[in-house]
Amino acid sequence: MADADMTMMEALMLLCQEKHIDQLYLLDRLEAALAETYAKVLKLDWGAKVTIDRASGKIYVYRLEPIDDSMDEEGNFTEYEEIDVTPKDVSRLAAQTAKAEINAIVRNAAREQIYEEFSGRVGDLINGTVLQSTPDFTIVKIRDGVEAELPHFDQRRYPDERNERPNGERYLHNQHLKAVIVDVRDPNSTLPPVRGEHSRPPIVISRTHAELMRRLFEQEVPEVYEGTVELKSIAREPGMRSKVAVHSLDDRLDPVGACVGPKGSRVRAVVGELRGERVDVILWDEDPAVYVANALSPAKVTRVLIDPEKNYAGVIVPDDQLSLAIGKEGQNARLAARLTGWHIDIKSETLAADILKNVPLAPEPAVEDLLDEDTADFEPERCAHVGEDGTRCRNQARPGSRFCGVHDVDAFDGADSDAIANAEDLI
């Protein structure tokens, strides 16, 4: 029995070294699991307590009997008498249960260790090797003993699952892959687990997340990594096309040129890692009109009208640029709207001119509308005289009068009527 106990302890120690698990932690968890197992096998009403000798590996089982004087105000016993009921031979059921619990403890301990290491690395770029690919997810090896899951579930069949694979991508065994960490499953979480969570890797990675674009540019562009060039916004349709708005903290540095690189070498490296996904690098601007115009690149924009209250941007483009500005199936306009955060409405110059032509102009107020009938001393700014041809005098009215100095007869104090007539001819 002692040899068997030592063999078990040696096996546990080797297992701890292989899985990088704390030995005392594993023994504590094993004691708790075996206590539950023996309580069921021996049918103990008040449960059992199991201790494992740390030196010899011998297992002791105690039946718990409550002490009558230890009952608290709520009617619960707080102290128990421990009675040794260690069986001479461990039953087959107990051995199988203990083995299953040990495997569960080892697996959970490894997941806890991975969670502690990687939970603070969400958003980081990882390099991995494809181990296995199924219709629902791909297993990627990050390093020895650490694996990640890249899910690509059919959203119609599994709406609660993720799809982190760009359209058109397929992965082969031993293929090198770059992705970003988007989630690390907590083994002690009280939330309902996803389907098969405990048998799937705890690390979830993505190839569709916008953060992947940011990390790739940091890797390829030193100015982005150093922080001289900022990636202000990213809009992606994974596997098809992306737009990146960049800004330089150094006025002497062209951020677009820095990201594109000599002969496009830098952005070409990013496109290659994204399997041919088209990447547009545009210049960010604090002026929303300029920013929206840049976001619609490569289309040329004639004018941008901004309505900040409605978060609306009306864009006018030349007739031959309309289809380019909208893009195939609206892709260019859609990405520009996501990139800038503005609702963008694109019109051609011809259509915009037709719309403006049909907008009625506000009519000029009639003379009588300018006069306040209830106010006798109303002083209009313009002379109220209207000639025989219906033309209104353009002179300014005299203070205290509705007419200018030419048409205010009282102002002339008996002046020659011929002089008045001559003055009217000059108007």
Q: What is the CATH number of the domain that holds 163?
A: 2.40.50.140
CA 98/CA 11 separation, integer angstroms: 14
Q: Is 191 exposed, middle or buried (0-12, 13-18, 19+ CB in 10 A)?
A: exposed
Domain count, the chain: 4
Q: Give the span between the Cα atoms of 322 and 124, in whole angstroms.
A: 39
Same domain (yes/no): 167, 145? yes
Looking at the domain assignment, is residue 48 inside a domain? yes
**pLDDT at residue 228, rounded to an integer:** 95
pLDDT of residue 7: 65
Task: Answer whether residue 100 is part of any domain.
Answer: yes
Q: Residue 427 has what pLDDT?
A: 39
Q: Would residue 231 count as lying in a domain?
A: no
Are 102 and 12 within one domain?
yes
| Residues 109 and 21: beta-carbon distance below 8 Å | yes
Name the pTM for this structure. Answer: 0.68
Please measure the distance between the N-terminal and C-terminal CA atoms of the chain and give it in whole angstroms. Answer: 128
Give a yes or no: residue 260 inside a domain.
Answer: no
| Per-residue model confidence (pLDDT) at position 225 | 95
Do 48 and 99 fall into the same domain?
A: yes
9/112 same-domain check: yes
Question: CB burial class (10 A; 0-12, 13-18, 19+) of residue 285?
Answer: middle
Establish if 135 belongs to a structural domain. yes
pLDDT for res 417: 43
Given this model, what pLDDT does residue 272 score?
A: 94
- Which pLDDT does position 414 carry in this prediction? 42
Place of tokens 């090896």: 141
Question: Could you tell me the CATH number of the domain that includes residue 350?
Answer: 3.30.300.20
Domain span at residue 325 reads: 285-359
The pLDDT of residue 380:
47
Instruction: Give the Cα separation of 29 and 39 in Å (integer).
Output: 16
Which residues are CB-neighbours of 177 under 8 A, at least 6 positions away? Answer: 127, 128, 129, 130, 140, 150, 171, 207
* Same domain, yes or no: 375 and 343: no
Taking the chain (427 residues) in runs of 10, the rounded mean pLDDT of each run is 61 75 80 86 87 81 83 76 80 64 78 90 94 92 92 90 91 94 87 71 94 95 95 95 96 94 94 94 95 95 92 93 93 96 93 73 47 44 66 68 62 43 41
In the prediction, which pLDDT does 406 show?
57
**Residues 327, 413 within the same domain:** no
Q: Are residues 73 and 149 in the same domain?
A: no
pLDDT at position 130, please?
95
What is the model's pLDDT at position 197? 65
Output the six-digit token pair for 141.
């090896």
Query: Are 79 and 6 part of one and the same domain?
Result: yes
**Nearest of 148, 150, 68 to residue 114 by alpha carbon:** 148
**For position 373, what pLDDT does the model report?**
44
Is residue 90 assigned to a domain? yes
- Asked whether residue 96 is domain-assigned, the answer is yes
Q: What is the pLDDT of residue 106?
A: 77
Question: CA distances (Å), 281 to each of 161, 260, 329, 338, in order?
Answer: 32, 7, 21, 14
Q: What is the pLDDT of residue 298?
A: 93
Q: Which of 359, 385, 414 is the last residue before a domain boundary?
A: 359
Out of 117, 151, 174, a domain closes at 117
